[in-house]
Structure 1
């Protein structure tokens, strides 16, 4: 009976979250986490080993989708004269985050969390305003680089959580870079193979596919790379991400496949992860201290991006678009949730800190989506004024 209630609750939340999102204009991820919190509070969701495993798979599938979202060609759209600015931007982000951690004596988790990137919320802005907005186009291009950096940061964080700063940690870092080096070589190798033998792609994923070979190959690749990471004791996130990146690089023309994988992930597995995450937040424990800490996290996330953006891109974007750019890159909802869950499960942050991160991710995503829309109107940046500050 208990499992029946658990399954039914998850199914209902997954079914109705998009509807509530459309009616309230609240990001669906925020809705899912909120419903998860309420369901956990009223006892409909509870600690269950099977649910935890599925939620973990949902998180890995989310990282797989992150790889599918990556378009390395966008990196090339960054003008050569902006390459220094982009580098400066990332250096400033981590430098300011480091200063904040030193001043307030925060642990390594905050150094990873505060500058983290996620394309999820940014893609919602792209759908609303299009890619022709100068500030948003730059945000998307930098977001691609930022998400790759974030995946590496998440993997390094996982190594630190497991080994500390001992010898095991440095071995883990070395292994990560070896894996990345081998991964790049393999990608180059497949590039050569597919260039010389373009028909090979059709054997892997045929144009006329009656046996769902595209899905079979994609999911199998996902599990194979995750299993490899498990075997060499590296965070599984990297394997999931590389699987998605491989598909994006060499089968990006298979738009139907990418759409099917994304729809299945965002429609089922990712929601379970967010619902489960919400259910772990105890509403009855929330207090002013947690909310205050959440507000400070949001303030730090936005502040370091505003400062870094004005230092790196003011001459290029001017005031209005620099502000919009900074805010658009300040919504790392999915990765903040992932980092908080990872750190909490490894007892690196307290329960209250964990709750603060989850609440911060929700409020940050909701507030900035609304605030950016307001600023866009206040700045008079309608569609006939694209590219002007």
Structure 2
């Protein structure tokens, strides 16, 4: 990364460095589920590594790329986390009241109370984070934490959220990302895309070969390397932040998103082929 910055290839060190540490866990989960590799030691390892590759970059974006000073951003994040914790406590208290019974009785009715409450919680925390200039994905993360703390393992709610997320919002995100992709810039500078794609594997993926050598065999670690190097949603956010703030070259922003698109198209396919040949523990 230092060499790229020194040669003028990269002007915005921080957003590019954050981008190279991300993992598109939300994109990987349905792919792994459909291929039957979400369970066992391998699936748990991917989930843990992918969760780190989502939450830590989100925190880094909020802290180092926010509009305010880092200490203020950290204070806001801590306050939102405290708010999420209070909401979880309130929900647990309400779970022992008549209100919880009413909600439970109507979760399968046309009112779909549990799903509506979930959407209200999500939108509310998104608005709070946006109001303070914090990355919106952090609000979604805290909303998910509140739901897990209060409902625990709830397969019925999970299925409903999967239907809404993977049926509506995620396809819309990919369509909007594709429409915003600067294909002309990528065609004019194809080397940048290839460099960022290789860096995604080297920076985010290769450490998995070493860190999990006592837990997974070489084939599983290679699959894990490819999966953890799969990134797109946060790359789009980082590219938009970098270009709008004037610290990232437009061609680098396009190449980063293009590398993310290519990683989503290629890496999970190769990884699932490798992981499918290994027994699930």
Q: TM-score, normalised by structure 2?
A: 0.82
Q: Distance in 1 between matches of 2:217 and 2:264?
A: 24
Residue 353, structure 1, aligned to residue 259, structure 2: no
The correspondence for 2:263, drawn from 343, 364, 383, is: 364
What residue in structure 1 maps to residue 79 of structure 2?
A: 178
Taking the TM superposition and a 5 Å limit, the aligned residue runs for 1:1-389 are 100=1, 102-105=2-5, 106=10, 107-123=13-29, 124-159=31-66, 162-163=67-68, 168-184=69-85, 186-187=87-88, 189-190=89-90, 193=93, 197=96, 200-203=99-102, 205-209=103-107, 210=109, 211-289=111-189, 291-376=190-275, 381-382=277-278, 385-387=279-281
CA RMSD between the two structures: 2.8
Deviations 1:40-97 (A, max 9, x none): xxxxxxxxxxxxxxxxxxxxxxxxxxxxxxxxxxxxxxxxxxxxxxxxxxxxxxxxxx
- 3-state SS of paired residue (1:104): helix
Counterpart-to-counterpart distance in 1, 2:115 and 2:199: 41
Residue equivalent to 1:21: none
Determine the C-alpha separation between the residues in 1 that align with 2:222 and 2:164: 35
Deviation of residue 116 (structure 1)? 1.0
Question: SS in structure 2 opposite 1:215?
Answer: helix
Report if aligned partners of 2:28, 2:268 keep a CA contact under 8 Å in 1: no
Higher Rg: 1
Query: CA 1:277–1:306 in 2, change beyond 3 Å: closer, same or farther?
Result: closer
User: For the structure 1 residues 129 and 279, does the alpha-carbon distance in structure 2 shift closer, same or farther, using more than 3 Å as the test?
Assistant: same
The offset of 1:278, in angstroms, is 1.6
Cα deviation for residue 158 of structure 1 reads 4.2
Measure the CA separation in 2 of the matches of 1:307 and 1:144. Answer: 17
Bigger mean CA offset, 332-341 vs 293-302: 332-341
CA distance in 2, matches of 1:374, 1:231: 44
Distance of 2:204 and 2:129 partners within structure 1: 32
SS of corresponding position for 1:286: helix
Is contact 1:119-1:147 (8 Å) kept?
yes
Q: TM-score, normalised by structure 1?
A: 0.62
Specify whether residues 317 and 256 from structure 1 end up closer, same or farther in structure 2 by C-alpha distance, changes over 3 A only. Answer: closer
- The answer to whether the 8 Å contact 2:24/2:231 transfers is yes
Give 1:299 shift.
0.8
Q: Deviations over 1:6-32 (max 9, x none)?
A: xxxxxxxxxxxxxxxxxxxxxxxxxxx
User: 1:191 deviation in Å?
Assistant: 7.0
Shift, 1:128, TM fit: 0.4
The CA distance in 2 between the partners of 1:202 and 1:343, in whole Å, is: 48
Helix, strand or coil: the match of 2:217?
helix
- 1:120-171 CA-to-partner distances (Å, cap 9, x unmatched) read 2321123203234533331123323433223323333541xx24xxxx3331
1:185-230 deviations in Å (ceiling 9; x for gaps): 543x2475267x2655334x32334333223322222222223234
Q: Report the CA distance between 1:331 and its aligned residue.
A: 0.8
Flag the 1:259–1:252 CA change in 2: closer, same or farther, 3 A.
farther
